[in-house]
Chains A and B, each alone.
Chain A
Amino acid sequence: MNTPPFLMGIALLFWGMQTGFLVFAAVMAVLLETSQFIKSRWEFSEKEYHRIFDLCGLLLLGAGGIASTSEDIRVPVLGLAQWLPFIFLPIIAAQAYGSRNKLTMRTLSWFLRRRKVGLAEKELNISYIYLGLCLLSAGAVSPGRSGEGIFGPFGTRTFYFAVATILIWALFSMRTRRVHGSVWVILIGCAAFFGYFGQIGLHELQKHLEATVTNWIGQFARREANLLESQTALGRIGQVKLSGRIVLRLEPQDGSSPPSLLRELSYDTYGNTVWRATRQEVGDLSIETNDVWRLHPDVPSKSSVRISGYLHKGQGLLALPSGTVELRDLAVGSVKTNVLGMTKVEDGAKFIRFLAKSTPTLSNDSPPIPEDREQIPEKEEAVLAQIAEELGLNVPGKTLDEKLRIIHAYFQNNFSYSTYITAKHVDPEKKKTALAMFLTETRSGHCEYFATAAVMLARQAGIPARYATGFAVQETSGKGGMYVVRERHAHAWTLVYREGDGELPGLWEDFDTTPASWDEIEAQKASFWQPVSDLWARMTYEFSKWRYSKTNFRQYAIWLLVPLVIFLVWRIFFSRKRKRIGAGSVANAENVWPGLDSELYEMEEELAGRGLERMQSEPLTEWKERVQATECVPAEAFKTAVELHVRYRFDPHGLDATERELLRENVRNCLRRLSRKDAVGITDGHIAAKPQIK
């Protein structure tokens, strides 16, 4: 290790605090820091270093595999990043306790192992690389986890100071002595200062950019699930194009029939081709046991369906059958619902597969408010009133069912389904709205037209109604009674409210007025390679099902690694007898030359730190003269020390005890003088003060 004492330990503890592995980090810190104080070293051969690095590779592979099975979307990358100090501990420990303080590039690269010369022979000390790894791993922690007591992770504000301190420490040890220490301090201070405001700026910039980009994308995205409003394609000329990509798969359970509609959202207020949700009261559902979320406690379910689908960034809206009372096996962090029957999940995996249990006589929506009954845009009112009049919807005495039948029959008999909206759907003088054009002129349109018109007519007839979006279930898939829902099955329909009758509570019912031909028309849009893409989707689905399944795969994976790790460890440590070599004989155990313990070496090291290192092949006498010329050491003492050192080193008779002590004393004298120089201070690159030699 060539990091300053305790730096590595502090970096490891910092990593431990950030990631929650504090106990392990403390053990690792002690393990690595102790190597700086223990002189004994293991003598590993090159091949053994290779094997140790292979072990790290294996651990990385295993950790990658385990991370990829995690249900938390962030784990695969960030989780793996957090484990890196664990994974590379064997190799850094091998370097710390091995006889060589550097590793060859051949050890660190499988590609270079075949090469004999060049880059493969280059040596690298990985201490600082490992230190950087610890800091990066600490940085891979989500900023949300902070403030958990004294040993908890650093928060967004304090993390910067911690990481900057460790980096400054590391940079201090790598600094050059070209400039005065104060210049270095000023420069690093500036870097830290700008860095602090830079990181705040960067964070703010991302927030700003995210907001801008989201707005920008929101304008173009057709089906951006917006909880507050739904921009319909009413009056928009052109074809509504949606792909045949499979978004959901349904498996009805226990012989029950699948739901015909799966709802994501509903809206209550319409105007200018936009449906809005005016109420957003959101409530959290609490998990019961083993991923069971209950929407209606104590209500038995009548049918159940297993739904599989993908989440974007671990969150999204669930498309559920009406009257869903319970969600089982839903492995997500939280489930939120609102008064309009929305169910939103967060902190989930990329893929979810859950059981939705439902009772058709229930609904999750709040009872109607006056807007559900009355809200009709002013522009549309005249046309709707006229149609309601023609259909006799407002004739007193008509029941809800009769009214609904009339509306349904009206659309079925007089309207056709079309996804292609031409110029004739739009009033050139813009006097009529898109909805009015649909109702009076063209009488053809897609589901959004039908759903919107039906809501308006129902409200005109005094029935509380809402606009719902989601998917229609209409395509079976192979054997086993499975259904698939494609993107083009996205649908809009109407929700009408049936009042309760004392025994039964009030209920929002699905009311779909889109002509039944729509699914056939949509099915014609299937591309010719749909079977191929379906096959691929099926394979991805099966893989995801396995990968995110609730089996104990992760545990098995760990056990699979155990024999491999044991094998490698055995190869490293027990394949042949280890040779343990003692202190001082690391480099050359066989040849113990006299005089190697001379104090002058200490002196040489000290002077090298001051730019007075002995050059390669520079005779000792020349070096002595060069050092003496700088007057940084007492000339006489230094001269005597060098002479005695030469004798100690090369004279076959060596030194007697008095002379040996004299050498020690003289070197000590010189070192004392050097340290005093430091205290006086070095300015302008040369030694400023020249105290008298005593």
Chain B
Amino acid sequence: MPAYVMFKRLIYRNYRAYTGITFRFGRRVTPAGWLVLIGLMLAAALGLDTTQTLAYQAFTFLFFCVVMAVFASFFARPKLSFERILPKFGTAGEPLRYQVLVKNPRGRSQRALSLIEDLPDPRPSFEEFVSTPEPGEEKRNWYDRSQGWYRWEYLVSQNSKAAATEVVLPTIPAKGNLEVPLELLPSKRGFLRLQGMVVLTPDPFGIFRTIRKFALPETVMILPKRYAIPRVELPGITKYQQGGVSMASSIGESEEFVALRDYRSGDPLRHIHWKSFAKLGKPVVKEFQDEFFVRHALVLDTFDVPLHSELFEEAVSVAASFSYTIHTQDTLLDLMFVGPQAYCFTTGRGVGQTEQMLEILAAVQPCREKEFSSLKQIVLEHLDAVSGVICILLSWDNERQNFIEQLKVMGVPVLVFVVTEEDAELAPGPMADKPENFRPLPLGKIGEELAKL
């Protein structure tokens, strides 16, 4: 094994051990425990010379308190069983609240226990640690780059799919049940695998807590974060267009009566309002509410992004916001993106549900095997059927500009969103003629920019 790899592996093991120990220690030691431990250390430091100070006497007392606490914690073995009542979906960035049924099969009540959800280990694998740089890592100094601590912290935070809140359980009666509300704060979209329940039992002094895990594997789908989007006038809304109508649940005019008007040649005879014809002496027809559909393509760029890219996550959030909002309008939406293969999902007007679209978006991953041209291909294939295209792009390079140019040449109205770094400035390029349809979305201001639509 080369020395460099050995060094990296050594660092990796150190970080892994350190993170593991601090995590477990953080759970095990209560705030009072920290106070005792810090007091113990200070008393030890101050009482190092027993002929100079008396602090060593406080040290010995605290030391034996800690020993007795550890001794007593061996006897803390609560026996409980759990049942989770989970909702089907959660949303990234929104608290996920659910109930847990705690059952105490023993003949004595259980007091002062704490409960917390057992989430998957966020520590990255060695391969991930070696291959995934932290954004902006190149700006760090040589030492930080070689040690990779910031990269480790970044990867741990990226792999933490959710944060669990600890709850203090009220007394669980002997052979009784208790329904406890728990809360999770999912931070990432996708499947959140819950492993089980962790019960923390304090020792009599309240210094340490015993950790007991109860396996209870379950999965909950976390939908992407969504932004509030105002009612938008999408490009290419034209009445009586044909595309997509065949997909709708009802076709043509609805039964809704709107008004009367003079007969024009070509109006069906069955729409003539005979009473008015008789009164006025000229043919009058009934008008009905138009049923018309707009079909849009929502194109999501999945190319040229690293793992855990914030840009990509935000792009997915923007796509989810559109798919969620547009569905409430009279529109069909074709979501197009390229994953392991090219996908096109159509939803709206009875075809598919919003949740399905969001579920798809919850699972979408960056594409590394294919080129941007594969996305271009799928969009062009479906172009005949759509009246407008919403593109959510991750950069504004020549290839993407050419693609937009091509769409415009083919006469399709385009609304372009480019998710960019905070301080990037983009020239509209092919969108110079319609700058209002070109929207750079800098990180941190995405919600603000979308609200301006």
Contact = CB atoms under 8 A, between A and B. Distances in A.
B206 A174 contact: yes
Contacts of A206: 49-51
B65 interface: yes
Given A163-B61, A616-B181, A685-B108, A136 B204 contact: no
Interface in A156-196: 156, 159-160, 163-164, 167, 171, 174-179, 183-184, 187-188, 190-192, 194-196
A629 interface: yes
A337 to B, nearest CB: 25
B62 interface: yes
Interface in B26-51: 32, 35, 38-39, 42-43, 46-47, 49-51
A203 B50 contact: yes
B63 A184 contact: no
The listed residue with most A CB atoms (<10 A of its CB), out of B52, B64, B111, B171, is B64
Contact of B54 (A129, A143, A171): A143
A195 B109 contact: no
Contact of B52 (A78, A174, A685): A78
B173 A135 contact: no
Interface in B43-84: 43, 46-47, 49-65, 67-69, 71-72, 76
Nearest to A187: B68
A188 B65 contact: yes
Interface string A133-153: 001101111110000000000
Given A187-B205, A686-B174, A139 B55 contact: yes
Interface string B150-175: 00000000000000000110110110
B102 to A, nearest CB: 12
A198 B111 contact: no
A446 interface: no
Nearest to A175: B206
A611 B204 contact: no
Contacts of B69: 187
A399 B58 CA distance: 69
A294 B58 CA distance: 44
A139 B35 contact: no
A191 B109 CA distance: 27
B365 interface: no
Contacts of A229: none
Nearest to B66: A191
Contacts of A140: 46, 53, 55
Contacts of B171: 610-612, 630, 685
Nearest to A143: B54
B60 A611 contact: no
A141 B111 contact: no
Given A164-B61, A613-B170, A685-B108, A188 B56 contact: no
Interface in B93-114: 108-113
Contact of A611 (B43, B170, B176): B170
A136 B55 contact: yes
B60 A626 contact: no
Contacts of B52: 74, 78, 142-143
A187 B39 CA distance: 20
A184 B76 CA distance: 14
Contact of B109 (A163, A164, A188, A686): A686
Interface in B183-209: 201-206
Interface string A70-92: 00001000100100000000000
Given A136-B55, A188-B68, A202 B50 contact: yes
A627 to B, nearest CB: 10
A195 B63 contact: yes
A469 to B, nearest CB: 29
The listed residue with most A CB atoms (<10 A of its CB), out of B49, B56, B61, B113, is B61
B61 to A, nearest CB: 4
A401 B57 CA distance: 64
B204 A175 contact: yes
Contacts, number: 171
A132 B51 contact: no
A156 B173 contact: no
A190 B64 contact: yes
Contacts of B201: 178
A202 B168 CA distance: 40
A199 interface: yes
Q: Per DSSP, are chain B's interface residues mostly helix, strand or loop, or mixed?
A: mixed
Contact of B58 (A78, A81, A167, A174): A167
B180 to A, nearest CB: 7
Interface residues of B, number: 52
Q: Per DSSP, are chain A's interface residues mostly helix, strand or loop, or mixed?
A: helix
Nearest to A156: B54
Contacts of B205: 171, 174-176, 184, 187-188
A324 B170 CA distance: 81
Interface in B370-396: none
Contacts of A138: 54
Nearest to B48: A206
A570 interface: no
Interface string A625-650: 01001100000000000000000000
B428 to A, nearest CB: 35
A167 B62 contact: yes
Given A176-B204, A187-B68, A629 B173 contact: yes
Contacts of B65: 167, 171, 188, 191, 195
A617 interface: yes
A378 interface: no
B85 to A, nearest CB: 15
A254 interface: no
Contact of A187 (B42, B53, B72, B181): B72
B160 to A, nearest CB: 14
A429 interface: no
The listed residue with most A CB atoms (<10 A of its CB), out of B32, B53, B113, is B53
Given A139-B54, A206-B51, A176 B112 contact: yes
B112 A142 contact: no
Contact of B53 (A139, A188, A190): A139
The listed residue with most A CB atoms (<10 A of its CB), out of B56, B71, B181, B201, is B56
Contacts of B67: 191, 194
B51 A611 contact: no
B64 A198 contact: yes
A136 B112 contact: no
Contacts of A177: 111-112
Contacts of A167: 58, 61-62, 65
B293 to A, nearest CB: 44
Contacts of B43: 136, 139
Contact of A178 (B61, B173, B176, B202): B202
A138 B112 CA distance: 34
Nearest to B165: A616
Contact of A199 (B42, B46, B60, B110): B60
Interface of A: 18, 74, 78, 81, 128-129, 132, 135-136, 138-143, 154, 156, 159-160, 163-164, 167, 171, 174-179, 183-184, 187-188, 190-192, 194-196, 198-199, 202-203, 206-207, 610-613, 615-618, 626, 629-630, 684-686
26 contacts: A78-B53, A81-B46, A139-B43, A139-B47, A139-B56, A139-B57, A141-B53, A143-B52, A159-B54, A163-B58, A171-B205, A175-B206, A176-B204, A178-B111, A178-B201, A187-B205, A188-B68, A191-B61, A194-B64, A199-B56, A199-B59, A206-B51, A613-B170, A615-B167, A615-B181, A684-B108
Q: Considering the complex of A and B, which 9 residue pairs feature the smallest CB-CB distances, nearest first?
A: A139-B55, A611-B171, A195-B61, A198-B60, A199-B60, A191-B64, A176-B202, A178-B112, A194-B64
Given A171-B65, A195-B57, A203-B51, 12 more contacts: A139-B54, A140-B53, A143-B52, A163-B58, A171-B206, A176-B203, A179-B72, A187-B204, A198-B60, A199-B56, A615-B181, A618-B181
Interface of B: 32, 35, 38-39, 42-43, 46-47, 49-65, 67-69, 71-72, 76, 108-113, 167-168, 170-171, 173-174, 176, 180-181, 201-206
